[in-house]
């Protein structure tokens, strides 16, 4: 395994302990080294003694951000995704570069893809995107107090930026227009947060009216 692959596949002591509890790693070989991902083929012995092979896509991890304005509108990017052979609506996102924290990646992608800076960047959740065969961990952030900046995306990316209201987002989700997993997770988080906030406001108003 090359140095970069070792860095991508590095595991915590807890993960190593869990791995050793379920499997014994007999041999690991990197069969492909790419710009974005590596592919390793591991030969293992299961806890029951069976010999097996696991193909693992090794990814450095990424960050995605939900850019929300004070009125609740959200910015999404539309880009053609080659594997899907179609254009998708997505949150601004990208892989974590060497030496970056997820927060830095989220802020960078926000400015590069939609041309805004965040006055506040709040961590929502981190999740594995496809744990059946890939170790990518995606960090999801909420960006508020947006300020215009300079948009400068990657040369091989053709993006268009769209602004949607919460009502429009719900329709896009129900209609199946938004099918990207990170975007669905991020928007459901945002919509649930906003609805909870509005319920609290309505409850407080009702209490104030009763006291008045």
- Tell me what the pLDDT averaged over the chain comes to: 88
Query: Do the strands 137-148 and 116-128 form a parallel or antiparallel pair, or are they unpaired?
Result: antiparallel
- Mean pLDDT throughout 56-66? 97
Residue with tokens 């097996």: 52
Closest C-alpha to 159, from 111, 97, 118, 191: 111
Catalytic residues: 155
Closest C-alpha to 141, from 183, 171, 103, 113: 103
Q: How far is CA 165 from CA 69, 76, 101, 190, in A?
A: 10, 11, 30, 12
Q: Which CATH architecture has domain 62-198?
A: Alpha-Beta Complex (3.90)
- Asked if 68 contacts 190 with a C-beta cutoff of 8 angstroms, the reply is yes
Domain coordinates in residue numbering, the chain: 3-58, 62-198
Give 125-184 pLDDT, tens digit per residue: 999 999 999 999 999 999 999 999 888 766 667 899 999 999 999 999 999 999 999 999
State both tokens at 184.
């669905």
The whole-number pLDDT of residue 9 equals 55
Give 76-105 pLDDT, tens digit per residue: 999 999 999 999 999 999 999 999 999 999
pTM of the model: 0.84
Closest C-alpha to 188, from 174, 199, 203: 174
């Amino acid at each position: 395994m090359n140095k970069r692959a070792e860095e991508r596949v590095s595991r915590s002591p807890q993960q190593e302990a869990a791995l050793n509890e379920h499997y014994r790693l007999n041999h690991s070989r990197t069969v492909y080294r790419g710009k974005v991902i590596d592919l390793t083929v591991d030969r293992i012995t299961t806890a029951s003694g069976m010999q097996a092979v696991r193909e693992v896509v090794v990814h450095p991890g990424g960050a995605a951000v939900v850019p929300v304005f004070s009125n609740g509108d959200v910015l999404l990017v539309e880009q053609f995704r080659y594997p899907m052979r179609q254009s998708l609506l997505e949150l601004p996102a990208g892989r974590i570069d060497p030496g970056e924290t997820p927060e830095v990646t989220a802020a960078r992608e926000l400015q590069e893809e939609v041309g805004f800076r965040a006055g506040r960047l709040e961590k929502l959740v981190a999740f594995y995107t496809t744990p059946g065969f890939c170790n990518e961990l995606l960090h999801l952030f909420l960006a508020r107090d947006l300020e215009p900046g300079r948009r400068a995306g990657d040369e091989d990316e053709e993006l268009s930026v769209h602004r949607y209201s919460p009502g429009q987002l719900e329709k896009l989700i129900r209609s199946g227009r938004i099918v990207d997993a990170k975007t669905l997770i991020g928007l459901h988080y945002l919509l649930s947060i906003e609805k909870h906030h509005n319920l609290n406001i309505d409850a407080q108003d009702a209490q104030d009216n009763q006291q008045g």
